């Protein structure tokens, strides 16, 4: 708003600012909230023509300052031209919030604000980047924090900040960890997941690497701060990252790149004790190449400063080792494949995030459950609990006779299962 040097600056005290009846009739002293109402009232006094005009003309424009000293609008240069405006400002910023929304308990100092909010409260819909709609703000906020769509957005948007640089390293490491693992492990996994790179699809980043890292958990008290693990990776990281950036899609085919990436991974992994874990575990599905593309300028200069990590293992030996690790861990592989199924579904059905409505998702949940049951029966074969189950399924008819028949129900009978504990009182 252009400042009018001729304008009269009016500084009202908080009391007068908040006074509701500023316009007072000079004849009878009655107060009114608005000037128009006062004028209407004055007509009722049947004043002679001359006096009908306003006694005090207001030739100059008035601007108002906020009485609150710490406020930016306290200074005349930032005065507001509208009295109602300054009143509302004062109430909103410095006033007591007397009006409260019933639905969401949000507070307002200005009654009209409160009314306006109450009208829309609860009717508003929040849309997450993944496409899901929410009618409640709290569930929207919580969902958003954990949503895969968020992971991508913030990484792209804030690629330049320091913290994000480290995060991007994290992501990039995941990225070529994926490549490495995928190239070795693809034969172990069902065709349901296809290498994202090959198809040029931006959406899919399955997790073959997961099966490798599953067994690794810190065993003792560990303050696993992301800072420490990230910084150790940071040292090694940029070299491989720069090679990656030359051609992000070439990692599978370029033996030399693979070698450097492998050497990075294995030297880091072998060198450090279990206290530093590669944080390459679960990766947001929506982690896309765009992630990497946004960062290259950052690493352009860096790779000159760091040297390649030395490694005496050949690329072939390391590849073989990776294949071995993949082959021997059959349990986690199953889990890994289930993991990826979930991932794929989520990525494909971005618009229908609410899984219950999604037939694919349901069948995958069912698949997971079946697998769980399989796992359960596999590992609890010798457990009396599971014997109960297996015999339950076996039983087609009721055993209605004497107590001896209860052996069938329990499969082998309690005695044989737990000889020591049970003999005492059964």
Partner 1 sequence: MNPLTPHLPKPPSFISSSKLSHDQSYHHHMSTNSDPSDTGATEKWAAKLLQECAEAISVKDSSKIHHLLWMLNELASPYGDHDQKLAFYFLQALFCKATESGERCCKNLASIVERSHSFESARKVILKFQEVSPWTTFGHVASNGAILEAMEGETNLHIIDISNTYCTQWPAFLEALATRNDDTPSLRLTVVATVGMGGSVMREIGHRMEKFARLMGVPFEFQVVRVATRLGELKEEDLGLQEDEAVAVNCVGALRRVGVEERNDFLHMLCSIQPKVVTVVEEEVDLTSSRSEFVKCFKECLRFYGVFFEMLEESFAPSSNERLVLERECSRSILSVLACDENGGGDCERREKGSQWCARLMEGFSPMSFSDDAIDDVKALLKRYRPGWSLRPAEGDASGFYLTWKDEPVVWASAWKP
**What mask of x and - would describe binding to partner 1 in positions 359 to 388, judged by CB under 8 A?**
---x--xx-xx-xx--xx--xx--xxx--x
Residue 73 exposure: Cα atoms within 13 Å on the Cβ side: 22
H or E segment at 38?
helix 35-43
Residues 291-350 binding partner 1 (CB under 8 A) are: 331-332, 335, 338-339, 342-343, 346
Q: ∠ at Cα 375 (372, 381), nearest 5°? A: 135
At its nearest, how many Å lie between partner 1 and the CB of residue 204?
14
- Residue 355 engages partner 1 in binding (rule: CB under 8 A): yes
Sign of the alpha-carbon dihedral angle for 129, 337, 319, 214:
positive
Q: Could you give the C-alpha distances from 259 to 63, 149, 280, 362, in angstroms and in order?
A: 72, 32, 19, 41
- Residue 203 engages partner 1 in binding (rule: CB under 8 A): no
Write out the two tokens for 37.
């109402």
CB atoms within 10 A of CB 375: 13
Residues composing the chain: 426
Which H, E and C letters describe 304-344, residue by residue?
A: HCCCCCCCCCCHHHHHHHHHHHHHHCHHHHHHHHHHHHHHH
Choose between 315 and 368: whose C-beta lies nearer to partner 1: 368
Backbone angles phi, psi at 23, to 5 degrees: -95, 115
How many residues touch partner 1 under the rule CB under 8 A: the total is 90
- Residue 120 engages partner 1 in binding (rule: CB under 8 A): no
Question: How are beta strands 23-24 and 8-10 bridged, if at all?
Answer: unpaired
Gap between the Cα atoms of 87 and 76, Å rounded: 16
Choose between 309 and 411: whose C-beta lies nearer to partner 1: 411
Largest CA distance in the chain: 118
Candidates 38, 42, 91, 164: give the one binding partner 1 (CB under 8 A).
Answer: 164
Span of 44-52, 60-68, 220-228, 314-322 interacting with partner 1 by CB under 8 A: 220-228
At its nearest, how many Å lie between partner 1 and the CB of residue 159?
11
- Residue 49 engages partner 1 in binding (rule: CB under 8 A): no
Question: How are beta strands 62-64 and 8-10 bridged, if at all?
Answer: parallel
Residues 265-284 binding partner 1 (CB under 8 A) are: 277, 279, 281-282, 284
Candidates 139, 274, 316, 324: give the one binding partner 1 (CB under 8 A).
Answer: 139
Residues 222-241 binding partner 1 (CB under 8 A) are: 222-227
Question: How are beta strands 23-24 and 31-32 bridged, if at all?
Answer: antiparallel
Residues 85-114 binding partner 1 (CB under 8 A) are: 100, 102-105, 107
Residue 162, exposed/middle/buried by CB under 10 A (0-12, 13-18, 19+)? exposed
Choose between 305 and 382: whose C-beta lies nearer to partner 1: 382
- Residue 421 engages partner 1 in binding (rule: CB under 8 A): yes
- Residue 127 engages partner 1 in binding (rule: CB under 8 A): no
Candidates 83, 128, 150, 323: give the one binding partner 1 (CB under 8 A).
Answer: 150
At its nearest, how many Å lie between partner 1 and the CB of residue 282?
4
Choose between 286 and 311: whose C-beta lies nearer to partner 1: 286
- Residue 70 engages partner 1 in binding (rule: CB under 8 A): no
Residues 168-187 binding partner 1 (CB under 8 A) are: 170
At its nearest, how many Å lie between partner 1 and the CB of residue 7?
29
Candidates 142, 316, 320, 390: give the one binding partner 1 (CB under 8 A).
Answer: 142
Candidates 77, 84, 216, 301: give the one binding partner 1 (CB under 8 A).
Answer: 216
End-to-end CA distance of the chain: 93
Choose between 308 and 422: whose C-beta lies nearer to partner 1: 422
């Amino acid at each position: 708003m252009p400042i009018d040097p001729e304008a009269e600056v009016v500084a009202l005290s908080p009391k007068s600012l908040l006074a509701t009846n500023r316009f007072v009739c000079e004849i009878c002293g009655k107060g009114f909230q608005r000037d128009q109402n006062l004028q209407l009232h004055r007509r009722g006094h049947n004043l002679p023509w001359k006096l009908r005009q306003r006694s005090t003309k207001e030739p100059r424009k008035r601007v108002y300052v906020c009485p609150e000293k710490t406020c930016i609008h306290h200074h005349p240069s930032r005065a507001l031209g509208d009295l109602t405006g300054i009143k509302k400002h004062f109430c909103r910023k410095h006033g007591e919030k007397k009006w409260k929304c019933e639905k969401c308990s949000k507070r307002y100092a200005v009654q009209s604000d409160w009314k306006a909010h109450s009208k829309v409260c609860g009717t508003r819909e929040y849309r997450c980047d993944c496409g899901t709609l929410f009618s409640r703000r709290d569930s929207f906020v919580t969902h958003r924090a954990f949503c895969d769509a968020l992971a991508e957005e913030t990484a792209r948007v804030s690629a330049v900040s320091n913290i994000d640089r480290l995060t991007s390293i994290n992501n990039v490491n995941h990225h070529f960890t994926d490549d490495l693992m995928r190239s070795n492990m693809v034969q172990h996994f069902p065709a349901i997941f296809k290498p994202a790179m090959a198809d040029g699809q931006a959406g899919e980043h399955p997790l073959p690497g997961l099966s490798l890292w599953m067994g690794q958990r810190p065993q003792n008290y560990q303050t696993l701060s992301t800072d420490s693990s990230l910084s150790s990776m940071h040292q090694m990281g940029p070299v491989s990252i720069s090679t990656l950036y030359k051609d992000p899609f070439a990692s599978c085919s370029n033996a030399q790149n693979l070698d450097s990436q492998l050497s990075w991974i294995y030297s880091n992994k072998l060198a450090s004790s279990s206290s530093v874990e590669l944080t390459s575990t679960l990766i947001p599905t929506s982690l896309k190449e765009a992630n990497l593309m946004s960062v290259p300028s950052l690493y352009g200069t860096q790779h000159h400063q760091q040297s390649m990590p030395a490694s005496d293992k050949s690329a072939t030996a390391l590849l073989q080792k990776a294949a071995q690790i993949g082959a021997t861990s059959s349990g986690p592989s199953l889990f890994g494949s289930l993991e990826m199924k979930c991932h794929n579904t989520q990525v494909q059905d971005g618009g229908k995030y609410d899984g219950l409505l999604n037939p694919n998702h349901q069948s995958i949940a069912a698949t997971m459950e079946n697998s769980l049951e399989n796992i359960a029966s596999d590992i609890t074969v010798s457990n009396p609990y599971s014997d109960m189950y297996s015999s339950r399924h076996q039983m087609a008819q009721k055993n209605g006779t004497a107590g001896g028949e209860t052996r069938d129900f329990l499969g082998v009978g309690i005695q044989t299962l737990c000889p020591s504990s049970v003999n005492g009182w059964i």
